[in-house]
Structure 1
Amino acid sequence: MTDAPVRQASLREHNLGLVLRQAANAARPPSRADIAAATSLTRATVSALVDDLIAGGLLTEVEPAPRAGAGRPAAGLVLSASGPAGLGLEINVDYLSACVVDLAGTVRHREVRHADQRPGRPAEVLAEVAELAAAARAHAERQGLTLAGAALAVPGLVTPTGLVRLAPNLGWRDVDVPAGLAQGLAGSGPRSEATRRDGAGPLGRSAALDGLPVTVDNEANLAALGELHAGPAGPASFLYVSGEIGIGAGIVLHGTLFRGARGWSGELGHMAVRPDGPACRCGARGCLEQYAGQEAILRAAGTDDLLPQAKAGNPAVLDALSAAGAALGVAVAGVVNLLDVEAVVLGGIYAPLAPWLCPAVEAEIRQRVLTAGWSPVDIRPSVLGADAAVVGAAGSVVRTIHDHPARWLTRV
């Protein structure tokens, strides 16, 4: 640890975040006096900080609840419904999506476009994502919201700079996503460095994300973060499994996303369930995706309507889901043995199918996890369902404001 004085500016930045989070996490709108009591800051300091947060559009005052006894009740403080918001974007194999989440975590806009993204070149896919972003930005502005930033969820290995090293189910390799997002397809012009790298056509400028900080992350990581912050507090350590055409996982340990040494943890879909099994798009054999991915389940079931047919008791569909659950259970049991997580959260297409997947998953865990006899693992569907990644992406922008409101205040 380095002994260094705390600058006055740093102290103010810390206290701004402390006050904002007190208002955000309170069971009822707290007054300035309530926040002073909870934080041990002086009332004068809290009042000055609250004034700054209100002026910056982060907090707003609400009428106090009536109370018995002497004295006038103080106004309460809540997160502003017309302040900054986060833009979430998602690229998946068979759809694109966008959503806007306000400061309180409420989804204010959502759009999904269903289409197979594999035939498109990366630049074409990113151009359509930019269109979704532009539409979402317009919806936000009509509601009086200002986007503070954007986060994009991608099913692949993503570097801290947003370079997608590999997204095997999309067929992407070394795609500079931030550069591609900042541009849209154009009819002519010189090929940029980004287009040379991914083999796409000429690019032109798009205003969809102009001025917005943009981050890119693995979709399962963002979904896990969304799940961590959704609804009432759940387990502090869990494995989030994203079931789509591919299978990803987000690992949360003690309330913090575990990324691994290079940020690429969670590739559950490419764990070998049977080493001599069928070839996978990643180049290996017998990967979990070949047994429990969406396309594998559909092939085994012989139908595109899994949920209605499962509810109807279709034997082929029930057998396919049971087999997928068993394969998933084998992989999940290995993770539980290794990391000792408390729960496994089934997301993506797995969430609505959980009633038919869970029995086989649980059976494998009981058989394979050493501690299962006295420390059972909770298997549950995702609270956010299919929207976990895109809502988690937007929420990651909002949480940055909660953690560092001073950065936002310098922009307004």
Structure 2
Amino acid sequence: MPPRPPRRDDPVRQRSLRDHNLALVLRHVTAANRPPSRAEIAAASGLTRATVSTIVDELIAGGLVAELEPVSRSGVGRPGTGIVPAGTGPAGLGMEVNVDYLAVCAVDLTGAVRHRQVRRLDQREHSPAQTWQALAELADQALAAVAALGLTPAGGMIAVPGLVEGDMIRIAPNLGWQQVPLPRPGDLGGLRELPLEVANEATLAALGERHATGLRSFLYVSGEIGIGGGIVLDGELFGGSHGWAGEIGHVTIDPQGPDCHCGSRGCLEQYAGEEAIRAAAGLPGRDTAKLEQHAAAGEPAVLAALDAAGSALGVALSSAVNLLDITTVVLGGHYADLIGWLSPALEREFARRVITSDWSPVRVRPSALGADAAMVGAARAVVQGILDDPARFLAARA
């Protein structure tokens, strides 16, 4: 994961002055509601106009920002020239390994998704080495697409449905992975030349959601075959001591419940995971769209299964809300499509179990990024690393 963005927004002195101010100016450009001029950046940042002009020139030369055509205006003074994030230049590559699909996307410095590809493939039928090989094929196609768009790949981030520590995926229960080494450079085709990291998919999805919505504090819950969670508090991802926080899918609903892939019993996934919902509804196969179609048709068994899943979610999430003092829950993955049927039972449990519900009710909303949240968040993490430390990116290109 990229380093946490600095909490400071004032100029500094000595050796870090240039690096800090490069990031300061770049943040002003990317965060602006409209393209700011050099004079406006100077006024907002506290830097001198001469310093801003020098920094902007350097950022333009490095392909990080671009200058618009001057805008004519009446009165005295030079025409205003807006500065914008470069539409060409660096791009972050986000990849996702999920139980039944692989996905990859590229995001440019403006945050726009410039390439997206999803391949349906059940990873439970493949070894980790086979999964990395299949992901490398998708990544190579993405690299070719990025090059055709005139972009330069700046790095890659892989989202996995498991716990990552150091150079190891400690456990990914729904993949059947335990103590799986992270892929080596030679395992991922053209990515061997790029900086590459691996992180939890729900955590990265929460990062993507934070950037897409501007929400400052929320609990993100991803509903796929497994259930993942990401926590954002006051604008910052909360990862816990090891970066493993958010494993809401393995909160116990019933200690005597069915066995879970994690080795425990009665976990939330066994009641509200995608496969659990389909089984309770009596629907074979793996097509979530059919689940939606049957629910829309008002089939009693399907509606009952979704209501039960919503109740189980409510039980687990109420404890998290009470613990974290969060008032917004974002439902992602397939939950975003099923929110209309899950929300009534979920909100019913919140009203019963969240101690502050009478005066501070929990808001439930669908993910703005839907099923793409993890891979977009992964790509956005790469881009965020550039925004936080453009000097490092420029030095690597020199």
Taking structure 1 as the reference length, the TM-score comes to 0.90
Q: 1:74, CA displacement in angstroms?
A: 1.7
Mapping for residues 28-43 of structure 1, pairs under 5 Å: 28-43=34-49
SS of the residue corresponding to residue 396 of structure 2 reads coil
| Aligned mate of 1:229, from 195, 201, 211 | 211
Mapping for residues 180-329 of structure 1, pairs under 5 Å: 182-184=185-187, 207-231=189-213, 233-234=214-215, 236-303=216-283, 304=287, 305-329=290-314
Partner of 2:137: 131
Question: Which residue identity does 1:210 align to in structure 2?
Answer: R
Q: 1:367, CA displacement in angstroms?
A: 0.2
Aligned partners of 1:353 and 1:246: how far apart in 2? 15
Mapping for residues 339-358 of structure 1, pairs under 5 Å: 339-358=324-343
Aligned partners of 2:43 and 2:111: how far apart in 1? 26
Q: 1:390, CA displacement in angstroms?
A: 0.2
Contact 1:126 1:177 in 2 (8 A): no
* Aligned CA distance change for structure 1 residues 359 and 64 (closer, same or farther; 3 Å): farther
Question: Which residue identity does 2:176 align to in structure 1?
Answer: G
Question: Which residue identity does 1:377 align to in structure 2?
Answer: V
Contact 1:31 1:74 in 2 (8 A): yes
Q: 1:66, CA displacement in angstroms?
A: 4.2
Partner of 2:106: 100
Matched, 1:67 2:73: yes
Partner of 1:178: 183
* Aligned CA distance change for structure 1 residues 37 and 315 (closer, same or farther; 3 Å): same
User: Is the deviation greater in 313-322 or in 29-38?
Assistant: 313-322
Partner of 2:174: 169
Aligned partners of 2:291 and 2:70: how far apart in 1? 50
| Aligned mate of 2:372, from 387, 393, 401 | 387
SS of the residue corresponding to residue 256 of structure 2 reads coil
Aligned partners of 1:278 and 1:352: how far apart in 2? 26
Q: 1:67, CA displacement in angstroms?
A: 3.4
**What are the ranges of 5 or more consecutive residues in structure 1 without an aligned counterpart?**
1-5, 185-205
Aligned residues: 381
Aligned partners of 1:158 and 1:210: how far apart in 2? 20
Question: Which residue identity does 1:174 align to in structure 2?
Answer: Q
Q: 1:265, CA displacement in angstroms?
A: 1.0
Question: Which residue identity does 2:37 align to in structure 1?
Answer: S
Contact 2:132 2:183 in 1 (8 A): no
Q: Residues 186-216 of structure 1, C-alpha deviation per residue, up to 9 Å, x if partnerless?
A: xxxxxxxxxxxxxxxxxxxx53212211111
Contact 1:85 1:145 in 2 (8 A): yes
Question: Which residue identity does 1:36 align to in structure 2?
Answer: A
Q: 1:404, CA displacement in angstroms?
A: 0.5
Q: Residues 146-184 of structure 1, C-alpha deviation per residue, up to 9 Å, x if partnerless?
A: 01110000000101x3410000100111111232xx234
Percent of aligned pairs with the same amino acid: 61
Aligned partners of 1:135 and 1:410: how far apart in 2? 27
Q: 1:7, CA displacement in angstroms?
A: 6.3
SS of the residue corresponding to residue 123 of structure 2 reads coil
Contact 2:72 2:80 in 1 (8 A): no
Partner of 1:363: 348
Contact 1:178 1:216 in 2 (8 A): no
**Greater helix share, structure number:** 2
Contact 1:178 1:214 in 2 (8 A): no
Q: 1:135, CA displacement in angstroms?
A: 0.8
Partner of 1:202: none
Cα RMSD for the two superposed structures: 1.2
Aligned partners of 2:192 and 2:14: how far apart in 1? 33
